[in-house]
Structure 1
Amino acid sequence: MKLKYWIYAMRLHTLPLSITGITLSFLISKFRGFEEYIVYILCLITALFLQILANISNDYGDNIRGLYNFNSFGSNKRVQCSFISFLKIKKGIYLFSILSFISGLFLIYKTISINDIFIFFLYFLGIFICIYSSIFYSIGSKPYGYKTGISDLLVLFFFGIISVQGSYFLYTHTLKIDIFLLSLSIGLLNVAVLNINNIRDIDNDYKHGKYTMAVWLGIKYAKIYHIFIIFLSVFFGGMFIFLNQIKNIQWYFFIFFIFFIILHIKNIIIIKDNKLFNLELKKLIFITFLYGLSTGISFFL
């Protein structure tokens, strides 16, 4: 049944990364007196469409370059090209591009007044940038995902700043420095997820000319880079709580998060077999999701 191969291609286990920042900023905005439920749902739908678009586009681009085969550690990513034709994958890319655009258009129509022409145009342009970035990470003659460091910065931007600060602005029409710090914390955890993926695929990526940060640094320094990213995320997250502490339970949740992060770092350091990074990748996605959710919920406890 081809449906299960499409599910593999969409990489459903990564979708909590799209939900995390948007839900976190919504919970904080709700605590501060803004209850934009429809805006939240539209943000959620748009983000999910964009991430699915990015996932299938990434697999398509990498597969046509021969990066994924039956010996790849991320073997689920090859199934779409083994069991679904390239033509159908391209149709899927077109479909989710259209869905992302329509959903994004509804979102800015609902949240931004046409009279506020600059902000309206900025978000309208942002829809195209998001769609373009989702597709051309690994598609085209010069995919930016094959250039050292660019994909890391864009993940920080889209999954951190845009996801948290951008959605918070749509809920409240305000910009806050504490939300910006929180967006960096969430964004850096997403970069760490990408880095685990790149460490896992380091040999295959190098062989096919995909120069990620892991390829550029080598596995030893890629692990150090990973620890540094997470340290910065914890620092910015701690700064956010320091600026917003209302109850001790916020610190308890944060310390609980740090405990799991320490365990994760220990595992990253000792792993020798690259295929074992798959498990740590999924763990970090789950940790990131719980971190965002618990930080938002802690305001109400």
Structure 2
Amino acid sequence: MEGNHPPQVSTWQAWVLAARPRTLPAAASPVIMATALAWAERVFRLDAALAALLGALLLQIGANLANDYFDYQKGADTPERLGPLRVTQAGLLTPRQVLTGAGVVFGLAGLLGFYLLTIAGWPVALIGLASILAALAYTGGPRPYGYRGWGEVAVFLFFGLAAVVGTYYVQARQISLSAVVTAIPIGLLIVNILVVNNLRDIPTDRASGKYTLAARFGEAWARREYLVLAVLTYLITLGTVLLGWLPKGGLLSMLSLPLAIRLTQEIWHLQGRALNRCLAGSAQLALAFSLLFSLGIVIEKWLFG
């Protein structure tokens, strides 16, 4: 389904494609880590955790739909696109349908946000509103920041800091150093998903005037960026555990290092559409890291109290 010829699919299948389910680990991973940390620190709250998880997934789907619409409107999505199929460009859904769908999904996320507001107060409303505005402004509006090289910063802030600290806050009603520290490595891994996406799209992004960091500085720079962020992920995790800022069980996340090494090697050798494999792999890496990290601190707490 990633070629230039659109597949024959039903309307329901088109909506599933538009939601881009392979991107959802990026939304779930930070929530999983924050919830495990909350459990280990005895501030876990099931309803808040589930609402945060569902809200994060809805925000990701809404952002995917909005990007599908706005990239099509701005000419960034063309038949020459090498990435996974975009439903608006492929004619599977109309622009109006996709924009309406984004509005509905963001509305549902807002309802969950209102529920979390009743639990944890006004900071939740600020995070939720900022997340929706950031999703829309990434490719929408007169000056989309995703077209000007600010995508990595936004992804780190919202998929790292806001997602982890926000999920922890709605359960604990406070912010801890451990929550802030936990946000850093998973934020960096999720940024790398965007790095692969932008590396693959350099030719079409430059042609459409979409100047991501990869489009500005080139393929070699983007590959080095991926390597540096991957190395920092594991060094920061190791360092913060050794400093006592995170539970020792978090070191179980190191078992995902072989996957990170393999992906980094592939990114140095693959180009174009072949990078879609690395894109999916980078999302799987973030999920594997988060699950291993979470399992480690839960086991540690269970065994040693």
The alpha-carbon deviation at position 289 of structure 1 amounts to 0.3
Instruction: State the AA in 2 paired with 1:15.
Output: L
Give the letter aligned to residue 77 of structure 1: R
1:69–1:78 Cα contact (<8 Å) kept: no
Partners of 1:245 and 1:132 lie apart in 2 by: 34
Matched residue SS, 2:53: helix
Q: Distance in 2 between matches of 1:31 and 1:264?
A: 31
Q: Work out whether 1:67 is the aligned partner of 2:66.
A: no
In the alignment, structure 2 segments of 5+ residues that lack a partner are: 1-9, 300-305
Check if 1:147 corresponds to 2:148. yes
Give 3-state SS (helix, strand or coil) of 1:225's partner.
helix
How far 1:137 sits from its partner (Å)? 1.1
Using the TM superposition, give the Cα deviation of residue 190 of structure 1 relative to its aligned residue in structure 2, in angstroms. Answer: 0.8
Q: Deviations over 1:40-71 (max 9, x none)?
A: 01101111111111001001111112222332
5 Å-filtered alignment, 1:29-178, equals 29-78=38-87, 82-112=91-121, 120=122, 122-148=123-149, 150-178=150-178
- Tell me the equivalent position of 1:259: 258
- The size of the alignment, in residue pairs, is 288
> 2-side partners of 1:188 and 1:281: how far apart?
14
Letter in 2 for 1:27: A
Q: In structure 1, the residue corresponding to 2:68 is in which secondary structure?
A: helix
8 Å CA contact 1:9, 1:80 repeated in 2:
no
| Counterparts of 1:180 and 1:71, CA distance in 2 | 41
Note if contact 2:200-2:272 (Cα within 8 Å) is conserved in structure 1. yes
Q: Match of 2:231?
A: 231
Q: Alpha carbons of 1:203 and 1:80: their partners in 2 closer, same or farther (altered >3 Å)? A: closer
Question: How many Å separate the matches in 2 of 1:254 and 1:203?
Answer: 35
Among all aligned residue pairs of Structure 1 and Structure 2, give the percentage whose two residues are the same amino acid: 23
Distance 1:56 1:274 in 2: 23
Match for residue 291 of structure 1? Answer: 289
CA contact (8 A) 1:62 1:68 kept: yes
Partner SS state of residue 76, structure 1: coil
Q: Which residue of 2 aligns with 1:12?
A: 21
* Aligned partner letter, 2:268: I
Contact 1:17 1:289 survives alignment (8 Å): yes
Aligned mates of 1:217, 1:11 — CA distance in 2? 28
Deviation at 1:240, TM superposition (A): 3.3
Q: What is the distance in 2 between the residues matched to 1:198 and 1:146?
A: 11
Task: Using the TM superposition, give the Cα deviation of residue 79 of structure 1 relative to its aligned residue in structure 2, in angstroms.
Answer: 5.2
Is the contact between residue 119 and residue 170 of structure 2 (CA under 8 Å) also seen in structure 1?
A: no
TM-score normalised to the size of structure 2? 0.90
The separation in 2 between residues aligned to 1:246 and 1:72, in whole angstroms, is 44
Give the residue type in structure 1 aligned to 2:103: Y
- Pairwise CA distance, 1:274: 1.3
| Secondary structure at 2:139 match in 1 | coil
- CA distance in 2 between counterparts of 1:87 and 1:79 reads 9
**Distance (Å, rounded) in 1 between the aligned partners of 2:86 and 2:154:** 21
What is the rounded CA distance, in whole Å, between the counterparts of 1:83 and 1:6 in structure 2? 9
- C-alpha separation between the residues in 2 aligned to 1:142 and 1:81? 25
Task: Give the letter for the 2:23 counterpart.
Answer: T
What code does the residue aligned with 1:103 have?
L
Give the equivalent residue in structure 1 for 2:191: 191
Which residue identity is paired with 1:274? G
CA–CA distance in structure 2, aligned partners of residues 40 and 52 of structure 1: 19
| Letter matched to residue 210 of structure 1 | K
Q: Distance in 2 between matches of 1:183 and 1:231?
A: 16
Match in the other structure for 1:206: 206
Amino acid at match of 1:74: G
| Cα distance change of structure 1 residues 286 and 76 upon mapping to structure 2, 3 Å threshold | same
Q: Moved runs in structure 1, 4+ residues, more than 3 A?
A: 78-81, 244-247
Give the Cα separation in 2 of the matches to 1:246 and 1:69. Answer: 48
- Where in structure 1 are there 5+ consecutive unaligned residues? 113-119
- Kindly state the Cα deviation for residue 227 of structure 1 after the two structures are TM-superposed: 0.8
CA distance in 2, matches of 1:80, 1:101: 28
Residue 82 of structure 1: CA displacement? Answer: 0.8
Task: Quote how far apart the aligned CAs of 1:231 are.
Answer: 1.5
1:270 aligned partner: 269
Counterpart contact for 2:88–2:95, Cα < 8 Å:
no
Partners of 1:75 and 1:178 in 2: CA distance? 36
CA displacement at 1:245 relative to structure 2: 4.4
Question: Structure 1 CA distance, aligned partners of 2:248 and 2:211?
Answer: 45
